[in-house]
Structure 1
Amino acid sequence: MWPFRRTPVIDPACGDLRARALLAALGARDRQTVREIFVTAAGPDDHACLMEVAADAAGVQDWIGEWVAAEPGATLPLLLQGCHGVSWAWEARGARYAQFTRAQQFQEFFRRLEFAEECLYEVVARDPGEVTAWTWLTLSARGRQVGPEEAEARFAEVTRRVPDHLVAHEQRLQYLCGKWFGSHQQMFAFAREATARAPHGSLLPELLVVAHLEYWLSLPGGEDDAYLISGPVRADVVTAAEHSVLHPAFVPRFGWPPRLNTFAMALTATGEYARAARVFDLIGDRVTDWPWCYRPVLGSPARAFAAARRQAQRHR
């Protein structure tokens, strides 16, 4: 609860001690501690959210090959090499649209991504039920520009084992966006179906919120914010929040901060200040770069978060 920091700082570990320990172990090239932390994962979603932290950690590509070579029969180092390799590939490409990306960037992007997929496919050849590997193959499907059938097959390898896998659903939604290989209709159909079948307190309804944010980003200035405050969008965001983070069954689990930040931004943008304030209370100071990077204040996602929180609290 309040008081919180006036402008919080973005923490890669989101204030989580286990994430902080994982980042420290990766930075120290401490294989044993990395292994022990992944063993603590309570389930596939927990494992995937730990891997999100590890995949984005700086410098892993400089030494992970040594671990793979030292333990050729071990799956975890190869899985980490593949998942981190996907993030490392996107680092080479950059976040700008294709027309603003240089040929050299694309060349390095595809080279790194191909190697990452080789690692991930080796993992699932050893263990077909390794859903974290299939989840990152669902992510890399966009970069490798695989066709719809192949992309759906990768996602299906996750969901037939873990039907409500959060990270895999988030990555599948991105593939179905109009800016990638789908359409607005496909994106919304997927998000609505997942939201409708999600158990109360699940984070899956975040998909419907993300779908609206993706559509908002596709609109020209002047139409974008008007879209967010429209009645149907507001109703969808409220329905998703009440089904998910604002439901009494919701229990924060590892990896929750970016998902709650998404709800907080959307609820504030749609004018649902009282509900947004309740989400901000849950978040505390655990601000994340995404999605606030889409509405930065003075170039700062953290300032955007703080401004939205103040606005929500004033009108709660």
Structure 2
Amino acid sequence: MGDPTAQALCEALRRQDWRTARDVLIPVTDPDHHAFCLWAACRVQGVQDWIGEWVDAEPQSTLPLLVRGAHAVDWAWEARGDAWASRTSHEQFREFHRRLTLAEDCLKEVVARDPDDTTARSFLVTAARGLQVDREEAERRFYEVVARHPWHRLAHVQMLQYRCAKWFGSHEEMFGFARTVAAEAPPGTGLAHLVSMAHLELWLKLPEGEDDQYLQQSEVLEELHSAADRSVRHPAHGRYPGWPAPHNNFAMCFALGGDHAAAAEQFRRIGDMVTQLPWAYLDGDDPGTPFAQWREKATGGWG
């Protein structure tokens, strides 16, 4: 997403150069930026094959454990795949659980040694879904993050996912959480975009034909505009690490909702910073294709 620190970290991890990775991460003190860098690092292939070298080389440091644990969360979801549970094999679930257990062990050791590490705690919120921890424990993990950094972006996104109907919540609970956060969070955090995520989650559940009609309803578009005004369209909403994600969410909502003027505004701000989600909902193999098609449609070709 255009963040040079995250890019440098990923490049170091691809080279298996943990010393450079360490030196990139140590100066990152902002909790949201730190979590974003680890989120990016999760997507580097093969880290699990050599990360033990870093852990053994610096046993007093929590940083290699954090990288190993955060990466293992994404590695676990890779084993599970993207299919619904009914189409996921027992072998996939076993490997999913094994990798998540590794992630939990690493992340829990990090917070035991450094209780204020909000990045480790935010990834424990993610792991809570996969390990099917009870609601009380999942909420405890989330509140441990926000007690230290109240508007932590990654933790809020992951807690919204926990509250989705496809996991352990409901549409009503998901929207209640998104709307409460949107009303209370400072505009500069961008967290009002949780409302767009909630509408996309409901859109995903609807049959083809009804899905786009849902986003085209006047009350839905009105709420999306209000959430955009409190996040991506607010003067305080700058280009923080990960900024393209909320813009992409609103672009897709407005585009499918038929408000091409509002979509065009978001496409103009995005430029070519297309994100995998939400566009992979339209084409899992090539998210850039639906992004480009809808940008062309919304902007008349000048986007």
User: Considering the TM-score relative to the shorter chain, is it more than 0.5?
Assistant: yes
Q: What SS does the corresponding residue of 1:156 show, helix, strand or coil?
A: helix
Partner of 1:185: 172
1:281 maps to 268
- The 8 Å contact of residues 6 and 36 in structure 2, kept in 1 or not, is answered as no
Matched, 1:195 2:182: yes
1:310 aligns with: 296
Identity of aligned residues (%): 51
TM-score by length of 2: 0.96
In the TM superposition, what is the alpha-carbon distance from 1:249 to its structure 2 partner?
1.6
Q: Does 1:18 align with 2:5?
A: yes
The AA in structure 2 aligned to 1:184 is: H
Distance in 1 of aligned mates of 2:29 and 2:99: 30
Q: Deviation of residue 124 (structure 1)?
A: 0.5
Among residues 218, 227, 235, which one is paired with 1:248 in the alignment? 235
SS of residue paired to 1:177: coil
Give 1:155's aligned residue.
142
Partner of 2:152: 165
Residue 120 of structure 1, aligned match among 99, 104, 107: 107
Judge conservation of contact 1:173–1:207 (CA < 8 Å) in 2. yes
Preserved CA contact (<8 Å) 2:295 2:301:
no
Q: Output the CA distance in 2 between the equivalents of 1:276 and 1:163.
A: 30
Give, in whole Å, the separation in 1 of the partners of 2:287 and 2:99.
29
1:58-207 alignment, distance < 5 Å: 58-207=45-194
Corresponding position of 1:9: none
Of 30-39 and 136-145, more deviation after overlay is shown by 30-39
Residues of 1 paired with 2:87 and 2:54: CA distance?
36
Q: Distance in 2 between matches of 1:206 and 1:33?
A: 34
User: Match for 2:180: what amino acid?
Assistant: E
SS of 1:201's equivalent? helix
| In 1: Cα distance, 2:50 partner to 2:259 partner | 47
The alignment partner of 1:163 has SS state of: coil
Q: Secondary structure at the match of 1:56?
A: coil
The question of 1:44 aligning with 2:51 is answered no
* TM-score normalised according to structure 1 size: 0.92
C-alpha displacement at 1:296, in angstroms? 2.6
**How far has the Cα of 1:103 moved from its partner?**
0.5
| Structure 2 SS opposite 1:90 | helix
Q: 1:283 to 1:116 in 2, by over 3 A?
A: same
Residue 267 of structure 2 aligns to which amino acid in structure 1?
A: F
Q: 3-state SS of the aligned residue for 1:253?
A: coil
Bigger drift between 200-209 and 112-121 goes to: 200-209
Give the corresponding residue for 1:11.
none
SS in 2 for 1:158: helix
Displacement of 1:315 = 9.8
Give the gaps of 5 or more residues in structure 1. Answer: 1-13
Partners of 2:117 and 2:3 lie apart in 1 by 25
Which SS does the other structure have where 1:300 is aligned? coil
Residues 240-272 of structure 1, C-alpha deviations (whole Å, 9 max, x = no match): 111111111211111112222111111211222
Contact 1:174 1:180 in 2 (8 A): yes
How far is the alpha carbon of 1:42 from its aligned partner? Answer: 4.8
Q: Distance in 2 between matches of 1:19 and 1:115?
A: 24
Structure 1 ranges of 4+ moved more than 3 A:
none
Q: Distance in 2 between matches of 1:169 and 1:126?
A: 24
Change (3 A) 1:119 1:103: same
How much has 1:150 moved relative to structure 2?
0.5
Measured in 2, the distance between the counterparts of 1:225 and 1:60 equals 40
Residue type at the aligned position of 1:57 = V
The unaligned stretches of length 5 or more in structure 2 are none
CA–CA distance in structure 1, aligned partners of residues 250 and 28 of structure 2: 25
**Residues of 2 paired with 1:253 and 1:15: CA distance?**
10
Displacement of 1:273 in angstroms is 1.8
Equivalent pair of 1:29/1:63 in contact (CA under 8 Å): yes
Aligned: 1:27 with 2:14: yes
Instruction: Give secondary structure in 2 for the equivalent of 1:205.
Output: helix
2-side partners of 1:244 and 1:236: how far apart? 12
Q: For residue 44 of structure 2, what is the aligned residue in structure 1? A: 57
- Measured in 1, the distance between the counterparts of 2:200 and 2:27 equals 33
